[in-house]
Amino acid sequence: MFKLSIVSPERTLFEDNVESLIVPGGDGYLGILSHHAPLISTLKVGEIAFRDTDKKEIFMATSGGFIEVSDNVVSILVDTAEFLDEIDLSRAEDELHRAEELLNLTVTDVDHDRAIHSREKARNRINLIKKYK
């Protein structure tokens, strides 16, 4: 068991003890259990999954961020993240459409990267819903 806090620039999304945690690290998914070595990593677009002390699994979609692990305290800084039941499937599908349209239109590199990123985010949300609901 270790302490997990998930914070966004706006507010604290989650703060409690958990049994285990899986996050989309910069070099691939990372599994974290108690007494993990100190670690700082980036997070990519993907799913955050953790098991709380009642063995219940909780899933979140994130658009990336950072994780810091030390002394059985894990802090996740996310740009944005939603719990599974907060995800709006139709909105995510709209976003996916818009991102794909944008990809066909844009010429500059910056816009292209941005469109790819929002496509990733939308896909991630949709995948999560399809997987667990």
Partner 1 sequence: MPTPRDIRKRIRAVVSTSQITRAMRMVAAARLRKAQQMVEQSRPYSEKMRLILEQISSASAEVEHPFFQQREVKVRVLVVFTSDRGMCGSFNTNIVRQAVRLLKEPGAENIKLVLVGKKGEDFFRRQSWPILKVYKGLQGRMNLEVVRDLTDYLINLFVSGEADHIQMLYTRFKSMVSYKVGVADFLPINPPKTDRGATRQYIFEPDPKEIFGALMPAYALTIIQMALADSLASEHGTRMIAMSLATRNAEEMVDTLTLQYNKARQGAITKELLEVVSGSEALRG
> What residue ranges bind partner 1 (CB under 8 A)?
5, 7-12, 25-27, 30, 37-42, 64-66, 68, 70, 75, 77, 79
Residue number with CB closer to partner 1 (78 or 129): 78
Q: Least distance from C-beta 68 to partner 1, angstroms?
A: 6
Residue number with CB closer to partner 1 (69 or 128): 69
Calculate ∠ Cα 75-77-79, nearest 5°.
Answer: 165
Residue number with CB closer to partner 1 (20 or 75): 75
Q: Least distance from C-beta 55 to partner 1, angstroms?
A: 27
Q: What per-residue string of b and e applies to 56-83 under the rule 16 or more CB within 10 Å gives b? A: eebbbbbbbbebebeeeebbbbbeebbe
β-strand pairing of 57-62 with 65-70: unpaired
